[in-house]
Structure 1
Amino acid sequence: MTTYTVCPIPADTLRALRTVDDAGRPAAPCTDEEGGAPLRCCLRRSVPGERIALVSYAPLRRWAAGTGARPGAYDEQGPVFIHAEECTGRPDSALPFDNSHRVLRRYSAEGRILGGRLVAAGFGSALADAFADPEVALVHVRAVEYGCFLYEVRRG
């Protein structure tokens, strides 16, 4: 049986993004009047009245910097919602958000993309299939609608 860990954006990265994002722009916090924004800090949806920020994040670049890998042409950055201030983090190990209609992108330990898969249903089995390949070091889960990074999944 394949085991994996769902990873929100790391706390040290969140602290940096709350100051200057990966596009070099200062964070611009706001009050979320409607709620429902997918927060990548604690992997839940925002509720009305919470202070959030929309920042630019380069997940593979950040991961590669910590491992010595080189993302090369796969270095993407895009918008993510985070709490404007430090939050309590991820409360449980369940898969976050609604996991239908997602794209799973598989990456090697060297930061090379090993493929992708559109998942409409059977999310757990799609992750198991991804990690059945010993070359896969991590998987990025992305929204189909906008291609936004949602979270990272690692072995273990």
Structure 2
Amino acid sequence: MTTTTYAARPIAPRALKELRTTDDAGRPTDGFTDTEGGSPLRCCLRHSEPGERLALVSYAPLRRWASETGATPGAYDEQGPVFIHADECAGPAGDALPFTGSHRTVRRYSAEGRILGGRLVEEPGAFRQALLEAFDDPAVALVHVRAVEYGCFLYEVRRAEGGGD
């Protein structure tokens, strides 16, 4: 029996450095102190704790991926709000899939940056199967895991180098 592992990818350090100055909508980034905690942080893939310094920035995940790969997502290029630490952080502490305690959408994209479909994931245990199904399709280059409530980008999962995960 083969076990396939999929890793959640936080926002890349280079992109975080840029976003901490100016977000993907061109606005200057302002930090704030989180008084309640619980915000999903895309830099370290965990929920914030009360008292941490955060920034809410506009992020264009497909645009940034396309700049690395040469894809041209056209109208599928979108940007939306994400929480990050206002200052540099250590990144994720582990390799477990984060933010699985609520309904999520696994959205599939082609190497050209076009949406190939998606799947609603309702149970935490169904994430691995949803990712396996997505990457069983050779046309899928990456997936975005998104919040159902607001459609916000949570993290990306890419096809492994060499084609298999």
Q: Please say whether Structure 1 and Structure 2 have the same fold, judged by a TM-score greater than 0.5.
A: yes
Partners of 2:108 and 2:102 in 1: CA distance: 17
State which drifts further: 52-61 or 125-134. Answer: 125-134
Relative to 1, partners in 2 of residues 1:47 and 1:93: Cα closer, same or farther, differing over 3 Å?
Answer: same
Deviation sequence 1:33-56 (CA, Å, 0-9, x none): 000000000000000000000000
1:69 to 61, 71, 84: 71
Tell me which of 71, 86, 89 is aligned to 2:88: 86
Report how far residue 2 of structure 1 moved.
3.4
Which amino acid is 1:109 matched to? A
Q: Aligned to 1:7, what secondary structure does the other structure show?
A: coil
* Equivalence map 1:42-61=2 (5 Å): 42-61=44-63
Residues 6, 128 of structure 2: 8 Å contact kept: no
- Cα distance in 2 for partners of 1:130, 1:91 equals 26
Cα RMSD, aligned residues only: 1.0
The residue type equivalent to 1:123 in the other structure is F
Q: How does 1:85-124 map to 2 (within 5 A)?
A: 85-121=87-123, 122-124=126-128
SS of aligned partner of 1:6:
coil
Task: Report the secondary structure of 2:8's partner residue.
Answer: strand
Matched, 1:138 2:133: no
User: Counterpart amino acid of 2:141?
Assistant: A
Whole-angstrom distance in 1 between the partners of 2:108 and 2:22: 28
Matching of residue 151 in structure 1 with residue 134 in structure 2:
no
Aligned letter for 1:30?
F
Please state how far the C-alpha of 1:100 moved relative to its aligned partner.
Answer: 3.4
| AA aligned opposite 1:151 | Y
Matches within 5 A, 1:10-21: 10-21=12-23
Identity value in percent: 72
- The separation in 2 between residues aligned to 1:68 and 1:130, in whole angstroms, is 22
What letter is aligned with 2:96?
A: A
1:110 partner amino acid: E
Describe the superposition over 1:122-150 as per-residue Cα deviations: whole angstroms up to 9, x where unpaired. Answer: 11111111111111110000000000000
CA distance in 2, matches of 1:63, 1:155: 13
Moved more, 61-70 or 97-106: 97-106
Find runs of 4+ consecutive structure 1 residues off by over 4 angstroms. none
Count of equivalent residues: 156
Aligned match for 1:32, one of 27, 31, 34: 34
If asked which structure has higher relative contact order (CA below 8 Å, sep 6+), I would say: 1
Q: Is residue 107–residue 144 contact of structure 2 (8 Å, CA) maintained in 1?
A: yes
**TM-score after normalising by structure 2:** 0.91
